[in-house]
Homo-oligomer: A and B are copies of this chain.
Amino acid sequence: TKLWGGRFEESVTDIVEKFTESISFDKQLYKHDIMGSKAHASMLAQQGLISLSERDSILKGLDEIQRSIEAGEFVWRTDREDVHMNIEAALTDMVGEPAKKLHTARSRNDQVLTDFRLWCRDAIDSIVASIRNLQVALVKLALKNEGLIIPGYTHLQRAQPVLLQHLLLAFVEQLDRDAGRLLDCKARLNFSPLGACALAGTGLPIDRFMTSNALGFTAPMRNSIDAVSDRDFVLEFLSANSIIAVHLSRIGEEWVLWASEEFGFITPSDSVSTGSSIMPQKKNPDPMELVRGKSARVIGDLVTLLTLCKGLPLAYNRDLQEDKEPTFDSVKTVIGMLEVSAEFAQNITFNDERIRKALPAGYLDATTLADYLVKKGIPFRTSHDIVGRSVALCVSKNCQLQDLSLEDMRSLSPVFDNDVYEFLGVENAVKKFSSYGSTGLECVADQIGYWVAKLEINKS
């Protein structure tokens, strides 16, 4: 029989029990549930609501339950509904009367939110650690490929030459903001709902500041109704995860492209590739395809939670039990995506030779040429037009800009002079970049330095 069974004469049907149970997933919260119960019991004892020896029985029992769970010996029971009731009932089986006092001045409403906020706090720490790990992998990949120039794209059309290092650091920057978002979220969620009870607080003499401190929260939440009703902290968390996932999906797309025969920029090692059951020659960059694909479920998880919370009246509604699975899934997926991306980064080789050979295609130096004309005093719009016509000339001659004779160029503008050839060709073009944040050699070296220091990377 259920712990809340007092006024009930009939037990729920099997269909209802199966449909409403949460133990199959919320047992993940066991560690934080026990942590919360221990803090609560200690506070009850200090406030005289239970005796010291009752407290000790409870604490010892909870330790034993934790050990038993972690040893795989604990039997989770569906008829005990959820993690809270399973642990409390097991505690009662074990220590008897004192266990019946543990739920004093507490409801599952504030208890589950205490557990869940603690769980999210830890999950954020794990994700941030995985982000750092991927950032390090990217910077190391950059260090290994110093000086490599690749085409930069817009519209997937070749645009301007960029240093590979510069491009890899763009991902590092994005990941840094991702970590920032998570840390802001953590600061905002780290307040204690414990003691809000069902929704209204309690008349028993509890000390919410004591439990808040013991659990490492910043402070107790100010409003008990708010404490049990809102799920904005998970919405914020899953939003942050979704943005991470979108970032990683873009790395996935990029690297899948790079690994194609057509781009041919990278060769992933066998250890991060898979084959085909029918086509013997295939070697596929599956992990990064899955990184791209799994972003969808992180987004789906967020949509689930937003839709779940929409239009619910105050305070707690059972709908909110559905907040956990999408959160667990989002966290697990994002960590997996981060880990496998780092693994992939550590297992790709850039095909320098092939990249170098293909570089001239696409007139990557056209904008540098336009800057040349600007430096000679031609208004930019006019320069743009002159270079546009130069490119058209190259297309008709099937040659590169640097292959045009000075005469050819002068037919388009008298301003061209011999020094123009210092601006043409991909290597020259890269050398010319000088603005802050640009792909110029020095700028990028500075950025690399910044990240090596910030991420405490050992370059040796």
Contact = CB atoms under 8 A, between A and B. Distances in A.
B290 A318 contact: yes
Interface stretch (A119-127, A386-394, A403-411): A386-394
A232 interface: yes
A200 B278 contact: no
A447 B222 contact: yes
Contact of A285 (B49, B155, B229, B247): B155
B275 A4 contact: yes
Interface residues of A, number: 202
A254 interface: yes
Contacts of A369: 280
Given A389-B7, A447-B222, A300 B311 contact: no
B391 A281 contact: yes
A101 to B, nearest CB: 5
Interface in A290-304: 290, 292-297, 299-304
Contacts of A15: 339-340, 343
A458 interface: no
A257 interface: yes
A347 B226 CA distance: 24
20 contacts: A6-B388, A19-B339, A20-B286, A109-B154, A155-B256, A155-B284, A157-B282, A162-B199, A169-B225, A195-B435, A222-B450, A229-B250, A232-B246, A250-B312, A280-B369, A293-B321, A295-B307, A296-B304, A296-B307, A311-B311
Given A16-B272, A159-B276, A296-B310, 15 more contacts: A5-B388, A7-B389, A19-B287, A19-B340, A92-B381, A105-B371, A152-B314, A155-B289, A157-B260, A170-B229, A200-B433, A224-B439, A232-B243, A252-B311, A280-B391
